[in-house]
Amino acid sequence: MDIRLIALDMDGTALKNDGGISAGTLEIIAKALAAGIHVVPATGRTLSEIPDEILDLPGMRYAIVSNGASVMDLESGEEIYADHLPFEAARKMFDVLFEENLAFETYSEGLSFSDEKHMAEILRFFGSLGKNFAYLVERMRFVQNLPAYFEKSQKHIEKIYVHYLEEPSRIRLEMAASGMPDVVATLSNHLNMEINSATANKGTGLLQLCRGLGIEPEHVMAFGDGNNDLHMLTFAGFPVAMGNAVLQAKQLAAYVTVSNEADGVAVAMRKFLQM
């Protein structure tokens, strides 16, 4: 199997449920990089939220972040592809989120921003998940008035992330997003919601990166578990779904590995790449 690039979802895939990465998975990623294979984190997270031990591996060069809204060259620090959320659409979603009194994050330029009014709730949420999630708050920026901050700063918006939704709020948010043609709302699990530009997804980000590198889809292996991985799995010549993946991901997969808790990424890479 001639695999030249591996696109790797983070949460529920490369990372365990506690947000950490096992020594075995880290080791197999390092071996692939040393063999000249591009290993590319492809995540809903911001760049700053990808674990340092992954980004610091020798040979780690590219990352697809914020569900494909941004593709980064880690060596130069350059954003080589972008599909940002239009500000007016983001502002409308801000209005709905504040009306619902929902804590949310806004991803921009590799960082996560949140309104100070939600600080206590966000601290409680991430703090309860353990050290591998608590560190995300340390890298978050809290601002006094989030909509005004983005309007004044003119920073681009990669994604809006709502990390805990009760069913009535989820339905109202989905209805609001469905009325905006330049917005799409996806669920990576049953509790959260990710709001992006309607054309932003991991598959498009991966396509743009592969075009730049001259790599055809048949030379791409992709790993994922959630609904926000489906475009990426569709693009890849060899899609792998985790044992804990949603049904649609498993239906798209050429191979279903074991769960993230059982190091499914390492199991599949050893099996098919003889590492």
| CATH number, domain containing residue 72 | 3.40.50.1000
Whether residues 151 and 246 fall in one domain? no
Decide if 207 contacts 199 (C-beta within 8 A). Answer: no
CATH number (domain holding residue 185): 3.30.1240.10
What pLDDT shows up at residue 134?
81
What pLDDT shows up at residue 239?
98
What is the residue range of 127's domain?
87-197
Whether residues 10 and 60 fall in one domain? yes
The CA-based angle 259-245-65, given to 5 degrees, is 100
Whether residues 121 and 177 fall in one domain? yes
Rounded to an integer, what distance in angstroms lies between the CA atom of residue 202 and that of residue 80?
A: 14
The whole-model pTM stands at 0.92
The pLDDT of 70-97, averaged and rounded, is 94
Whether residues 181 and 54 fall in one domain? no
The pLDDT of 150-161, averaged and rounded, is 93
Whether residues 214 and 181 fall in one domain? no
H/E run at residue 207:
helix 202-213
Count CB-CB contacts under 10 A for residue 224.
30
Whether residues 16 and 69 fall in one domain? yes
Rounded to an integer, what distance in angstroms lies between the CA atom of residue 236 and that of residue 87?
A: 31
What is the number of structural domains in the chain?
2
C-alpha 97 chain-centroid distance:
21
Paired tokens of 138: 């340390």
Whether residues 71 and 99 fall in one domain? no
Is residue 80 pLDDT above 70, yes or no? yes
The pLDDT of 53-70, averaged and rounded, is 97
Whether residues 182 and 219 fall in one domain? no
Whether residues 155 and 91 fall in one domain? yes
Decide if 242 contacts 263 (C-beta within 8 A). Answer: no
Whether residues 154 and 248 fall in one domain? no
Three-state SS at 166: coil
Domain stop point among 172, 197, 222 = 197
Is residue 193 pLDDT above 70, yes or no? yes
Is residue 218 pLDDT above 90, yes or no? yes
Rounded to an integer, what distance in angstroms lies between the CA atom of residue 3 and that of residue 114?
A: 39
| DSSP strands (E only) in the chain | 5-8, 38-41, 62-65, 70-73, 78-82, 105-108, 111-115, 140-143, 159-162, 183-186, 193-197, 220-224, 238-241, 255-256
Decide if 42 contacts 222 (C-beta within 8 A). Answer: yes
170-174, 182-186, 229-233, 256-260: which range is least confident on average?
A: 170-174
Whether residues 21 and 151 fall in one domain? no
Whether residues 217 and 249 fall in one domain? yes
Domain stop point among 167, 197, 227 = 197
The pLDDT of 114-136, averaged and rounded, is 86
Name which of 30, 84, 44, 26 is nearest 193 in CA terms: 44
Domain stop point among 162, 197, 232 = 197
Given pLDDT bands bounded at 50, 70 and 90, which one contains residue 189? low
